[in-house]
Homo-oligomer: A and B are copies of this chain.
Amino acid sequence: MSKSAPDTERELNDFYQEADQRHLIPLWKVTAQLLPAEPQTKVLPYLWKWSDLRRMANRAGDLVPIERGGERRVLGLINPGLGGKYAATHTLWAAVQIVKPGEIAPCHRHTAAAIRFIIEGDRSYTNVNGDKCMMSRGDLVLTPNWSWHDHGCESDQPMIWMDGLDLPLVGDLDAVFFEPYPTHAHPVAQINDSERKFSGPHLKPTWEKPEGRYPPLLNYKWEPTYQALKKIGEGAASPFDDVCFQYLNPHTGGPVLPTIGCYIQMIRPGIHTQAHRQVNSAVYHVFEGRGYSVINGTRFDWERGDFFVVPPWAWHEHANEGKEEAILFSIQDTPVMEALGLYREQPYQEHDGQQKVIGTFES
Mark the stretch among A41-49, A116-124, A285-293, A295-303 that contacts chain B.
Answer: A41-49
Interface footprint category on A: 35 or more
Instruction: Pick the contact of A19: B75, B90, B113 (CB < 8 A).
Output: B75
Q: Which residues of B contact A238 (CB under 8 A)?
A: 205-207
Cβ of A287 to closest chain B Cβ, rounded Å: 15
Count of identical protomers in the assembly: 4
A27 touches B339 (CB 8 A): no
In this complex, which of A32, A200, A243, A248 has the most chain B Cβ atoms within 10 angstroms of its Cβ? A200
Mark the stretch among A153-161, A212-220, A315-323 that contacts chain B.
Answer: A212-220
Q: Which residues of B contact A1 (CB under 8 A)?
A: none
Decide if A136 is an interface residue (CB 8 Å cutoff): no
Considering the chains assembled together, what is the distance between the CA atoms of A224 and B238 in angstroms?
26
Cβ of A265 to closest chain B Cβ, rounded Å: 8
Closest CB pairs A-B (n = 7): A200-B228, A28-B70, A27-B74, A207-B238, A35-B178, A203-B245, A174-B312
Interface residues of A (CB under 8 A from B): 8, 11-12, 15, 18-19, 22-32, 34-41, 43, 46, 48, 52-53, 56, 59-60, 63-64, 67, 69-80, 86, 90-91, 95, 108, 110-113, 144-147, 167, 169-179, 190, 193, 196-207, 210-214, 217, 220, 224-225, 227-229, 231-232, 234-235, 237-238, 240-241, 243-254, 257-259, 263-264, 279, 281, 311-313, 333, 336-337, 339-342, 344, 360-362
